[in-house]
Structure 1
Amino acid sequence: MSESALQRRCHTIFPGHRQRRPAEHFAAMAAWCEQHDIDHDVYGNGDLIQSLEAKVAATLGFEAAVFCVSGTMAQVTALRLACLERASRLVALHPTSHIFVHERANYQLLDHFQALPVGDRHRPWTAADLLDVPDRLGAVGLEIPMREIGGQLSPWDELEAIKRGCRERGIHLHMDGARLWEAAAGYGRSAAQIAAGFDSVYVSLYKGLGGLGGAMLAGSSEFVARCAEWFRRQGGNVIHRSPYVVAAAMDFDARLAAMPDYFKRTQHLYAALRAHPAIRVNPAAPQANMLHLHLPVSRDHALAIRDALAAEHGIWLYNRAAHGALPDTSVVEIYVGDNLLAMPDDALRLALQRFADRLAAPPATGHGAPSDPICTG
């Protein structure tokens, strides 16, 4: 049985929002379009897409924003153009930057810019990390929050110092804000307050918002217009953006309004995890509505436990697992969204107890779920 099919048969699901299957999702989109009399855009021209672009720009405190089919395209384009403006192709990135970890060396192979890893991969940036770089930087790319280290945030005073240092040195400061909406609750500040002092910001239209895909890039009107032209040059000029835009627009306000509740539920989850010291949580206290669990079992064993809990008890705890730094350890991620928000406290505690019991038990012979698992209460 596939992972998605196994998850669909579960009633207690920890990560993210409830996943609607295509027919259900498209039906909801169609009803919303009918209710609001929505037409397709044509190559990015249309009332809905332009109103959403303006809304995102205003929410972030920028002059303009433009849709892009992917954050991968949006970010390297913004950094490339920032470097061209400043006659330096050198971009400082955290070692865990999405560009390094997940984008298959696109910045290098497509000749966008030269990247310099800066800082310690296990902690967020400080201003000193950047001030210690002797090279003349064209741009700095800062992820808020930093997903690969459990959703950690640079302390607010350090973030302000980073903004100030980049401004004083004439460096373009770009934000990878794929999860910026989530960081607002952790900082206790608005997205516009966090974005103030950045020259450009990318935000996702599907991660925390639960859309189908797509991204927005915000900045000055001139910079955004230049980026939009480069998106077209790179094949991003799809005739209709409307499916992505509708999926984001229909839930935009509700998702942003729910972010403080997701953060409170994350705090509750942290408290519940204290009863299970074998599960190490990163960060030590919530900074956004996500966390990493460091487990005392191998990656394969962690996936086997996940599938066994799903098959035997209808519990789905996490999606992927990664190898830990030490032998026979692993790391999993939980994003706190609608699923955990709606979960009764006793169901949460029971699921964690079943998980802890499995972690403490010796591995069974072989691994994986039974061939025909049945989800029971």
Structure 2
Amino acid sequence: MTEKNSLLEAFKQTEFRLGGHGPRDLHMLKKAVMNLDDHIESDMYGKGDVIEKFEEKMARYLGKESAVFFPSGTMAQQIALRIWCDQKGIKKVAYHPLSHLEIHEEDGLKELHSIEPILLAEKDRVIQLDDVVELKEDISCLLLELPQREIGGQMPDYHTLEAISAYCREKGIKLHLDGARLFEILPYYQKSASEISALFDSVYVSVYKGLGGIAGAILAGDKDFTEISKVWKRRHGGDLISLYPYVLSADYYFEQRVGKMEKYYKEAQELAIFFNQCQSVSTLPKEPVSNMFHVHIDVPKETLEPIFIKLTQNTGIGFSSYLKELNSGASYFELGIGDMYELIPKDKLKAAFTLLNEMVTGTISNLTK
């Protein structure tokens, strides 16, 4: 299938989209800087008011003593785990089998830092207290991802988080939060970012996923921890001569969107109901616990793609720019609700789901003949 006739190309042509905040283009930066003083000085190698003030703001929001801006979450998290391993003298950390560090980073933790990962829990569920208690290996740090993206954004209940935190502190195990989507889970837990962060020794948050900034991450913890992280940031080449385009967009979209997370969460729940009313379509989780979830459809990817292209073209609504194979007979895609969802007229949305149900039902009927 050529790109001209692809689902991605059809998605790009749509007037409305179910997920996200809109196209990631130059207008993102223009909006962030249009009302700023032209004489604001750039940061230089991680220093300067433009970056330090944002770091202080994020430290306060997360309830931590200090915070550091990183150009990427991959860099920030590997450094956090390296610091905790060096401190304890054990080069072993534990995390979920579908952690970003395990499946998306080309073994960076192992190859760059010689740290051995211990995988906890089965792939299709979140880490529970028993998984940690029954761990046979000595580890320096446990990493928890909230929400667990690769399984639809599932999360443990808050009492489990508290119990895991207490157990780790009792045993001298550092607890690190992969909170790439921390802002997005606050409505579900009905807790502040600082309340959740207080359970962890170090916290990473993304400034581009739910917020929609250009790129970058925050790593927060106590002052000693963040000062060491700055050394490792320099070693990793993370001290670019200036990071202000990333910082300014992060600050702008933080102010614009962090207060909308409750709205996005409720819209995700509403949208999941639409999907779950369609035959052979389901969401994971069935009731979302953040603004993101996965959509599973019991149709093979190669059969479903032309259906979705037609659906997209006929409705003018971009359901997704891609489909992935779940297994030989099913497909899935991920949705994260942002500013785009509220722009879709409700009558148009309902009509699109009626058409989706008809198309999937007809396809499955033909496949089973």
How many Å apart are 1:346 and its aligned residue?
A: 2.0
- Is the CA contact 1:13–1:339 (under 8 Å) kept in the aligned structure 2? yes
TM-score w.r.t. length of structure 1: 0.91
1:373 aligned partner: none
1:26 aligned partner: 29
How many Å apart are 1:295 and its aligned residue?
A: 0.8
The ranges of structure 1 where at least 4 consecutive aligned residues each deviate by more than 4 angstroms after the TM superposition are 2-5
Pairing 1:22-171 to 2, within 5 Å after superposition: 22=26, 24-34=27-37, 37-171=39-173
Pairing 1:219-368 to 2, within 5 Å after superposition: 219-324=221-326, 326-362=327-363
1:375 aligned partner: none
Residues 133, 358 of structure 1: alpha-carbon distance in 2 compared, 3 angstrom cutoff: same
- Is the CA contact 1:76–1:112 (under 8 Å) kept in the aligned structure 2? no
Structure 1: runs of 5 or more not aligned: 364-377
Residues 186, 341 of structure 1: alpha-carbon distance in 2 compared, 3 angstrom cutoff: farther
- Is the CA contact 2:95–2:118 (under 8 Å) kept in the aligned structure 1? yes
Count residues with an aligned counterpart.
Answer: 360
> Per the alignment, in what secondary structure is the counterpart of residue 25 of structure 1?
helix
How many Å apart are 1:315 and its aligned residue?
A: 1.9
Per-residue CA deviation, residues 186-216 of structure 1 (Å, 9 max, x unaligned), is 1111111111120100100100110110111
CA RMSD of aligned residues (A): 1.7
Out of 17, 20, 32, the residue aligned to residue 13 of structure 1 is 17
> Per the alignment, in what secondary structure is the counterpart of residue 251 of structure 1?
helix
Structure 2: runs of 5 or more not aligned: 365-369
> Per the alignment, in what secondary structure is the counterpart of residue 338 of structure 1?
coil
- Is the CA contact 1:137–1:171 (under 8 Å) kept in the aligned structure 2? yes
Per-residue CA deviation, residues 280-304 of structure 1 (Å, 9 max, x unaligned), is 1111222111111111112233333
Pairing 1:175-186 to 2, within 5 Å after superposition: 175-186=177-188
Residues 102, 301 of structure 1: alpha-carbon distance in 2 compared, 3 angstrom cutoff: farther
2:367 aligned partner: none
- Is the CA contact 2:64–2:220 (under 8 Å) kept in the aligned structure 1? yes
> Per the alignment, in what secondary structure is the counterpart of residue 260 of structure 1?
helix
> Per the alignment, in what secondary structure is the counterpart of residue 34 of structure 1?
coil
Q: What is the alpha-carbon distance in structure 2 between the residues aligned to residue 279 and residue 5 of structure 1?
A: 24
How many Å apart are 1:232 and its aligned residue?
A: 0.6
Q: In the alignment, residue 90 of structure 1 is paired with which amino acid? A: K
Per-residue CA deviation, residues 66-104 of structure 1 (Å, 9 max, x unaligned), is 011100010011001101101111111101111112111
Residues 234, 20 of structure 1: alpha-carbon distance in 2 compared, 3 angstrom cutoff: closer
Greater relative CO (CA pairs within 8 A, separation 6+) = 2
Structure 1 residues 153-162 or 347-356, which shifts more? 347-356
Identity level (%): 35
How many Å apart are 1:342 and its aligned residue?
A: 2.9
> Per the alignment, in what secondary structure is the counterpart of residue 191 of structure 2?
coil
Residues 356, 101 of structure 1: alpha-carbon distance in 2 compared, 3 angstrom cutoff: farther
Q: What is the alpha-carbon distance in structure 1 between the residues aligned to residue 312 and residue 275 of structure 2?
A: 20
TM-score w.r.t. length of structure 2: 0.93
